[in-house]
Amino acid sequence: MIKTDILIIGAGPTGLFTVFEAGLLKLKCHLIDALAQPGGQCSEIYPKKPIYDIPAFPEILAGDLVDNLMKQIEPFQPGFTLGERAQSIQTQDDGSFIVTTNKGTKHHAPIVAIAGGLGSFEPRKPPIPNIANFEDKGVEYMIREPELYRGKDVVIAGGGDSALDWSIFLTDVAASVTLVHRRNEFRGALDSVEKVQELKNQGRIQLITPAEVVGLVGENTLTGVSIKQADVTSDKPCDYLIPLFGLAPKLGPIADWGLEIEKNAIKVDNTLDYQTNIPGIYAIGDVNTYPGKLKLILCGFHEATLMCQSAYKRIFPDKRHVMKYTTVGGVEGFDGSKKQAPKAVVKAIN
Amino acid sequence: MMENKDILIHITDRDGVSHQVKAPTDMNLNLMEVIRLYELAPEGTLGVCGGMAMCASCQCYIDSNHHLQDMNDDESAMLGEAFHVLDTSRLSCQIPIDPSVDGLQITMAPQEH
């Protein structure tokens, strides 16, 4: 069981900055994120896009913003559970919470801060009839265990980096690899595109473009796919279809936690501390809603700051606390580091 | 007197309901933002990436004969991986609201699941 003071769900910019504000109050944080790396949308969707409305940064790339936040929170030694989605929450008798991920990892904390953005990133599923019936029976949206495909006939659908990279990788594992994409052009890194071209020339990847998987064949498990190319549809036998169309955010299991939801977001008390209808659970950043809400990173930072003050009072109801400026108090890390403004030198002039 | 800078856009939403909406041309808006302005799609189901042509949640079909700006590579690549794509598909976030799209008729593409 992982124990912490504030359990943060979502390691996007707002979740990361929460670690800093909590750290100033000597509260420890642990973050859960469905993605394999911190940064949320900034890392997953637009790391190379410039952001222009972060105060004091006339321009900063989303990926650099995440790197800076990671550096800023380093002294506070946050814990991470990455690649796992927060699945369920149980309130304990003392008002604390146990949050369990889809992989069964348990986390215990007196405070939960949901900073989940638009939700956890999940694979985009193509609208092929009956596709849900074949999930885990030949249709896989992500490759967890490459050995599953050893000696099998595999069809991959998609035109981005993951479709290209996995097609390349599986040529050494699968009996056959077929890549189906609606366009002749691929969006991936040049190296990957060239490698697929080379493997195609060697006859190790069958490339079917411009074409689309439009149907699934099989009784209980997948035995083939229907591929439409230039208005002609034909069946191709295979053991696996792997649609790789990237990820899209979904609010997911959090929607069933008994929180008040409005407009696909969690309602919070914005007049005070961004607490939800369940005491001890806060929602900050893009995941929350209140009158006048703006989904901006800078608003998420503000919400995180106020939320941490409230969390402190909840954890230590009898302690008096005064907010300290970092210019005055410096930053004392849990790792023993200390940053502080240099003291002025006072010297008399004779 | 102020020049009237509003144009009219005809939008058929995902439920098949038609809306005729006014859109200002002096606010640097795109079509996706106009759809959000009038709340014609539930929050979180349209413009998920914010308008960077990096998701396909704002896909629409162009029903009128307007000559629109050509697609850039980002939009074209994203539509290459979008679902429910037709020859008339565009990403509404990539269509600027200016006088040239006055009277534009569009239908919103179904929501992805």
A224 vs B112: which has the higher pLDDT: A224
Mean pLDDT of A35-64: 94
Q: A297: domain CATH number?
A: 3.50.50.60
- Do A305 and A325 reside in the same domain of the chain? yes
Q: What is the pLDDT, as a whole number, of residue A54?
A: 97
B1: pLDDT confidence band, cut at 50, 70 and 90? very low
How large a percentage of chain A has pLDDT more than 70?
100
Cβ-contact A9, A114 below 8 angstroms = yes
Best interface-test mutation with B: which of A131, A187, A288, A296 has the largest number of B CBs within 10 A? A187
- A40 vs B contacts (CB less than 8 Å): none
Cβ-contact A321, A63 below 8 angstroms = no
- A248 vs B contacts (CB less than 8 Å): 48, 55, 57, 112
Nearest to A46 among B45, B52, B77 (CB): B52
Instruction: Compare all CA atoms of chain A with the CA of B73 and give the residue at the minimum distance.
Output: A187
Nearest to A187 among B44, B80, B85 (CB): B80
- Do A145 and A210 reside in the same domain of the chain? yes
In a domain, A350, yes or no: no
Tell me the one-letter amino acid at A179.
Answer: L
Domain boundary pick from A245, A262, A285? A245
Q: How far is A238 from chain B (nearest CA, A)?
A: 22
Domains of chain B, by residue range, sit at 6-108
Q: How far is B14 from chain A (nearest CA, A)?
A: 16
Q: How far is A333 from chain B (nearest CA, A)?
A: 35
Alpha-carbon distance A156 to A166, whole Å?
A: 8
Q: How far is A102 from chain B (nearest CA, A)?
A: 20
Alpha-carbon distance A28 to A79, whole Å?
A: 9
Q: How far is B83 from chain A (nearest CA, A)?
A: 6
In a domain, A292, yes or no: yes
Position A270 pLDDT exceeds 90: no
ipTM for the complex? 0.80
pLDDT tens, residue by residue, A112-157:
999 999 888 888 999 999 999 999 999 999 888 899 999 999 999 9
- B76 vs A contacts (CB less than 8 Å): 185
Superfamily of domain B6-108: Beta-grasp domain (3.10.20.30)
Q: What is the pLDDT, as a whole number, of residue A250?
A: 84
Check CB contact under 8 Å for B81 and A45: no
pLDDT tens, residue by residue, B61-86:
999 999 999 999 889 989 999 999 99
In a domain, A304, yes or no: yes
Q: What is the mean pLDDT of chain A?
A: 94
Q: What is the pLDDT, as a whole number, of residue A244?
A: 95
Nearest to B48 among A181, A183, A248 (CB): A248
Q: What is the pLDDT, as a whole number, of residue A228?
A: 96
Domain span holding position A105: 2-121+248-339
Mean pLDDT of B33-54: 91
Q: Which of A13-17, A186-190, B95-99 has the lowest mean pLDDT?
A: A186-190
Check CB contact under 8 Å for B83 and A124: yes
Q: What is the pLDDT, as a whole number, of residue B4?
A: 62
Token pair listed for A86: 């927060």
**A-contacting residues in B 14-43 (Cβ below 8 Å):** 42-43
- Do A26 and A111 reside in the same domain of the chain? yes
How large a percentage of chain A has pLDDT more than 90?
82
Instruction: Compare all CA atoms of chain A with the CA of B110 and give the residue at the minimum distance.
Output: A127
pLDDT tens, residue by residue, A23-48:
999 999 999 999 999 999 999 888 98
In chain A, the largest separation of any two C-alpha atoms, in whole Å, equals 97
Q: Does B85 touch chain A (CB under 8 A)?
A: yes
Domain boundary pick from A245, A272, A304? A245
Alpha-carbon dihedral sign for residues A110, A113, B43, B79: negative
State the SS3 of A314-339: HHCCCCCCCCCCHHHHCEECCCCCEE
Cβ-contact A15, A9 below 8 angstroms = yes
- Do A185 and A258 reside in the same domain of the chain? no
Domain boundary pick from A245, A263, A287? A245
- A181 vs B contacts (CB less than 8 Å): 80
- B54 vs A contacts (CB less than 8 Å): 45-46
Strand partners, A177: A154, A205
Domain count, chain A: 2
Check CB contact under 8 Å for B54 and A46: yes
Instruction: Compare all CA atoms of chain A with the CA of B52 and give the residue at the minimum distance.
Output: A46
Position B49 pLDDT exceeds 90: no
- B112 vs A contacts (CB less than 8 Å): 124-125, 127, 248
Q: How far is A212 from chain B (nearest CA, A)?
A: 10
Mean pLDDT of A73-102: 96
Check CB contact under 8 Å for A187 and B44: no
Nearest to B42 among A41, A46, A263 (CB): A263
Q: What is the pLDDT, as a whole number, of residue A285?
A: 97
In a domain, A204, yes or no: yes
Position A167 pLDDT exceeds 90: yes
- Do A238 and A254 reside in the same domain of the chain? no
Token pair listed for A279: 């005491």
Tell me the one-letter amino acid at A130.
Answer: N
The number of C-beta contacts closer than 8 angstroms across A and B is: 58
Cβ-contact A268, A250 below 8 angstroms = no
pTM: 0.84
For residue A255, the 8-state DSSP code is: G
